[in-house]
């Protein structure tokens, strides 16, 4: 996919987000424009839009430079509240990454407005059904419609997987792995 074909946002796992973050030295945060626009979010706090540059306008208010310890707090909030990491590319060349939004289905424009477009991540889930107890916990954190319970059985709609890894992170049986996209059947 060429840089021209890429959308501004894409999905990644929390581990990928940490790798992206660790490639930077300075950080800014602002309130999420989606959360501010709705006036609330029942899932998480407002100040979760992380930026790696201080020289562009944020979509939300309250932009300020933060230390790495505050970035760790954002990552903990993301982990505990089951938020999707959605890095955003540089608007000029779409090659560099300028920051990461941490999103949910309660207030994020992407999940609420189907006209919003986001690229799928580099990974896709693979459920090992021999180890799965069909508890359905993973269904609750799949904001993309990739998992459902039907008559007590877990059904996976792999074509809907965006590669966020939330299902893997929450699975008590650890029967979900993330495979490179295109290799999900291996």
Domain count, the chain: 2
Length of the chain: 186
75 and 136 fall within a common domain: no
* Domain carrying residue 176: 123-180
Nearest Cα to 164, choosing from 110, 128, 115? Answer: 110
103 and 43 fall within a common domain: yes
Joined tokens for residue 22: 């660790």
pTM for the predicted model, two decimal places: 0.89
Nearest Cα to 164, choosing from 131, 120, 128? Answer: 120
Q: What is the pLDDT of residue 113?
A: 73
19 and 107 fall within a common domain: yes
Q: Is the pLDDT confidence value at 184 over 60?
A: no
152 and 67 fall within a common domain: no
Q: What is the pLDDT of residue 3?
A: 54
- Would you say residue 10 lies in a domain? yes
102 and 132 fall within a common domain: no
Extract the runs of DSSP E, i.e. beta strands, from the chain: 27-30, 49-51, 64-66, 84-89, 97-103, 123-127, 147-150, 153-156, 176-180
Task: Say if residues 83 and 102 touch (Cβ distance below 8 Å).
Answer: yes
According to DSSP, residue 10 is labeled B
Q: Is the pLDDT confidence value at 115 over 80?
A: no
- Would you say residue 118 lies in a domain? no
Rounded CA-CA distance 106/53 in Å is 27
83 and 174 fall within a common domain: no
127 and 107 fall within a common domain: no
88 and 146 fall within a common domain: no
25 and 54 fall within a common domain: yes
CA dihedral 174, 184, 146, 168 (to 10 degrees): 20
- Would you say residue 133 lies in a domain? yes
pLDDT digits (tens, 9 = 90+) for 30-78: 998 888 888 778 888 889 999 999 888 888 899 999 999 999 999 999 9
Average pLDDT for the chain: 90
Q: Is the pLDDT confidence value at 2 over 60?
A: no
The arithmetic mean of pLDDT across residues 112-131, rounded, is 89
Q: What is the pLDDT of residue 186?
A: 45
Does residue 38 or residue 159 have the better pLDDT?
A: 159
131 and 48 fall within a common domain: no
Among 74, 91, 112, give the residue marking a domain's end. Answer: 112
Q: What is the pLDDT of residue 35?
A: 84
């Amino acid at each position: 996919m060429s840089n021209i074909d890429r959308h501004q946002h894409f999905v990644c796992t929390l581990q990928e987000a940490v790798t992206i973050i660790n490639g930077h030295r300075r950080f800014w945060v602002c309130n999420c424009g989606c959360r501010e626009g709705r006036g609330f979010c029942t899932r998480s706090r407002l100040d979760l839009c992380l930026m790696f540059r201080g020289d562009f306008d944020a979509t939300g208010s309250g932009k300020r430079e933060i230390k790495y310890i505050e970035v760790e707090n954002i990552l903990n909030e993301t982990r505990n509240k089951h938020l999707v990491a959605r890095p955003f590319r540089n608007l000029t060349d779409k090659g560099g990454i300028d920051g990461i939004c941490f999103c949910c289905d309660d207030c994020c424009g992407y999940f609420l407005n189907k006209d919003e477009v986001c690229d799928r991540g580099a990974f896709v889930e693979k459920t090992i059904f021999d180890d799965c107890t069909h508890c359905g916990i993973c269904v609750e954190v799949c904001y993309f419609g990739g998992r459902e319970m039907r008559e007590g059985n877990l059904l996976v709609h792999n074509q809907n997987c965006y590669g966020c890894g939330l299902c893997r992170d929450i699975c008590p049986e650890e029967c979900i792995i993330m495979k490179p996209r295109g290799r999900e059947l291996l």
